[in-house]
Structure 1
Amino acid sequence: MKRITSIIIFALILFAAGCTKESSGKQDKKDLPDRTTAEAGPRVIAGTMSIVEILDDFGYKNVVGVPSSRHPMPELYAKTEKIGKPMQPDLEVLKRLNADIYLASLGSKPTLDKLFQNQNIKTEYVDLNSYEACLNTIRHLGKLTSKQKEAEHVIQTIEAKTLEVRRSVHGKKSPKVLMLLGSPKKLMMGTKLCYTGSLMEVLKIHNIANDIGNFDKTYVPINIEEIVKHQPDVIIRLTHTKAEDTAESLRTEFAKNEIWQKVKAVKEDKIYDLDSNLYTVSRNIRIMNAVENLKEIIYGETEN
């Protein structure tokens, strides 16, 4: 009897040990990353807020680094590691993150190429300098991240809104518009090749830069004599720093400068400051907001 009891107890001990081992195995497996459910696509660092917002529109989760920015970070990337400023990312952070690809804007290429020299950082530069370039980049990033369906949805949404706005101004004559960038100390004129200029083209807004010359650059130095000659009805201005202070100083400059006083838009105070959140950073689905806003500013001048 004692022998039978010993056998039973031994069997129970073995059974319990087996259960413990099996339970421990399941726990270990649970603690491991579930690679079968990981999102398809490369681990990327989004080097600019424009790229961040495009990837956010896709709902793309495999973003391991984002830039430091004064602009609000999308909730999806609120806890994503910061890499520093777009033009001065922290190389130590980039190396530690070891992403598959670093996405940056085309305009930053000369600076970043020097910074990344011999650093073995795979970088891809995307063009966000015009309306069409933005749509092409959205499509390209959709393919890169295996989010083609989401990318096409974003593009179709933008194009549908753009078409709606264009139809709303069909048949209306655009006032002559001068697009300026900068401060009183350094003013540049926006051509049809700059981002805002491309939106003007989409809405068939009369950009006097097209009358002054056939430029191959996005922004060119102003020629006040030519501006007076072509007499813009409206001036729109964009600045990257301290917009309110710069706007006030520019108005003061216009008011005391005799040459600017010969410009119709200045005499009639038809000067509008553009929201930098719409016309510089937000080049994703919110392109629609910029198109709508530009239409209200410019074609609102022609409404009775």
Structure 2
Amino acid sequence: MPGRARTPTAVANVAVLVLEGVVTFDLGVPLLVFGVLPEHYKHTLCASRPGTVSSSDGYSLNVDRGLDELARADIVVVPGYDLDRPVPDATLRALRQAHARGARMVSICSGVFALAEAGLLDGLTVTTHWRAADLLARRHPEVTVDPDVLYLDHGRILTSAGASAGLDLCLHVVRRDHGAVVANTAARFAVAAPYRAGGQAQYIKRAVPKTSGRSLARTREWALRHLGEELSVPRLAKHAAMSERTFARRFVEEAGVSPTQWLLAARIDLAKQLLESGDTGIDEIARRVGLGTTANFRTRFRNAIGTSPTAYRRTFGDQDGRASRTPG
């Protein structure tokens, strides 16, 4: 089921496919996230054929591995690339074979076009950078394109929007595989938010009402320190020194989701960390994350994660209820 946690029994092989005109930012993202977790992932660069590959930034990369790496990969990552450069037929066949063998296929930004050309996305809803969404829909009408989300997870097919959304998706993969504590280790190294709520709709250029220019970051940081308390919209608006209506509108403009949705995501993320990192009782966790009764906490957690708090702890904690941690 998409989004459910899974626990690999060994180090996962990650093959990063470097296509002609590769977007170097997109390429660096999986190398950063998976590279700081050598206990869990081993990454390799590969190309349609070993040798020199051009980048979108005008310089070349030397990639000494070929398509054989896709045949050994548990995860195949396709970063964005120059869409005017055709993907070789042999590469498309290798992508299909990797998927048929059971590898997870992950695209960043325009990398989704290669998966679509390989026929792996038929009937699915996927995403890409909002500027490329219309082109993807025109080239591949058999695919449904959602331009408003940061990433989508269909289990063995995962697609992300542009640039930093690839970081969100790679952290999501780690979170699925090894839980919030390990994902937060990679996020801290990357100086990134472990979980970013909202979608890329907040980044699309559009006419918006003029605001005072004040950011709500300080109020969000304050809320994260007080998740165990009652945090109503009126209380948050008071902290931000705004009217409730102005606060709610500004919050959606900045975060891409409502204050209530953002708070629930933050509370679930804290709950996952508490479940992984100690033997705190479920009742106490419900109280500390501000989700009230144990029954309400269990319901909210299951709806968000797809499993119960107890099952989540059993998956990501050791027998004493303590999560296995990575260095850093």
TM-score normalised per structure 1: 0.29
Hey, which of these two has a bigger chunk of helix by percent? Answer: 1
Higher relative contact order (CA 8 A, sep 6+): 1
Q: Give me the TM-score of the superposition, normalised by structure 2.
A: 0.27
Between Structure 1 and Structure 2, whose CA radius of gyration is higher?
1
